[in-house]
């Protein structure tokens, strides 16, 4: 089940205003150009910012899939959204439809999407489904934070607290606070408070910080024999940008 941060309708509507800097997506636009992709599958599309950029800036064929219906509802209201195919679900749901088999040149998992798969079998199932949807020679691109950077030590209320004026909602307060670190699993709370009426909505998330070696092994095991690990351009030394060829 998706975290409340993405599945609660009120939280989904303020997700973009509370995190407006999506310059990280420029890296993925560059990858689209690098591989001359004409059809893109965006896994974990969230509120659809990347999908809509793809159709408005590159005129590509795009499918965005996400299990959080509230986030997809936000996506559907954006400019260009009518040119995107939206699926509320997960990659195996897309793969279950034969019409999507070997139809995409590039699949992406932006931001933290690759790290929300906590169980190894879920992660492998997701990768196999993506492989089913890619054409031979197609590519998968995603990012993952380097465990050695210990990013979670910066996820504190002191460093992340903000109050933002959101159209239609007034002032909205939020922050991130880590509550548990258990090996590769990091759990954190993300409270959001709507100051106009005092409603507080809590969301708890867990991410898995896999090693580079584990990520490479999982890709090879699921049909991606060629794996390239690059430094994450917008956060050098903090994350990997992983490109795998089907």
Domain ranges (residues) in the chain = 4-146+210-245, 149-206
Q: Any alpha helices (H) in the chain, and if so which ranges? A: 4-7, 9-18, 25-34, 49-57, 69-76, 91-95, 120-133, 157-160, 212-221
Ranges of residues in the chain whose predicted pLDDT is under 70:
none
Contacts of 11 (CB under 8 A, 6+ apart): 4, 5, 70, 192, 201, 203
CA 37 to chain centre: 19
CATH topology of domain 4-146+210-245: Rossmann fold (3.40.50)
**Helix, strand, coil in percent for the chain, rounding step 5:** 35, 30, 30
Q: How far apart are CA 90 and CA 114, in angstroms?
A: 12
Q: How far apart are CA 46 and CA 156, in angstroms?
A: 24
pLDDT of amino acid 1: 75
pLDDT of amino acid 12: 97
pLDDT of amino acid 4: 80
pLDDT of amino acid 168: 96
pLDDT of amino acid 169: 98
pLDDT of amino acid 10: 98
Question: What pTM was estimated for this model as a whole?
Answer: 0.97
pLDDT of amino acid 140: 99
Cβ atoms of 210 and 121 closer than 8 Å: no
Q: How far apart are CA 172 and CA 218, in angstroms?
A: 40
pLDDT of amino acid 2: 86
**Three-state SS for 139?**
strand
The owner of tokens 């465990």 is 147
pLDDT of amino acid 194: 98
Q: Any alpha helices (H) in 96-240, and if so which ranges? A: 120-133, 157-160, 212-221
Bridge-based pairing of strands 177-182 and 199-201 is unpaired
């Amino acid at each position: 089940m998706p975290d409340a941060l993405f599945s609660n309708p009120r939280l989904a509507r303020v997700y973009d205003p509370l995190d407006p800097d999506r310059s990280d997506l420029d890296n993925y636009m560059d990858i689209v150009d690098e591989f001359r992709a004409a059809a893109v599958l965006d896994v974990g599309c969230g509120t659809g910012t990347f999908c809509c950029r793809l159709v408005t800036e590159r005129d590509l064929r795009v499918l965005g899939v996400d299990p959080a219906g509230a986030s997809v509802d936000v996506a559907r209201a954006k400019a260009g959204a009518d040119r995107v195919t939206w699926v509320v679900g997960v990659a195996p749901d897309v793969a279950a439809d034969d019409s999507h088999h070997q139809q995409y040149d590039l699949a992406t998992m932006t931001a933290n999407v690759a790290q929300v798969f906590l169980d190894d079998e879920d992660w492998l199932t997701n990768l196999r489904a993506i492989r089913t949807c890619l054409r031979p020679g197609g590519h998968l691109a995603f990012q993952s934070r380097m465990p050695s950077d210990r990013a979670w030590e910066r996820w504190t209320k002191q460093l992340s607290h903000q109050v933002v004026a959101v159209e239609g909602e007034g002032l909205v307060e939020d922050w991130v606070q880590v509550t548990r670190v258990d090996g590769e699993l990091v759990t954190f709370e993300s409270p959001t408070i709507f100051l106009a009426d005092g409603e507080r909505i809590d969301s708890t998330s867990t991410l898995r910080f896999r090693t580079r070696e584990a990520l490479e092994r999982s890709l090879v095991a699921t049909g991606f024999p060629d794996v390239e690990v690059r430094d994450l351009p917008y956060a050098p030394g903090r994350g990997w940008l992983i490109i795998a060829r089907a």
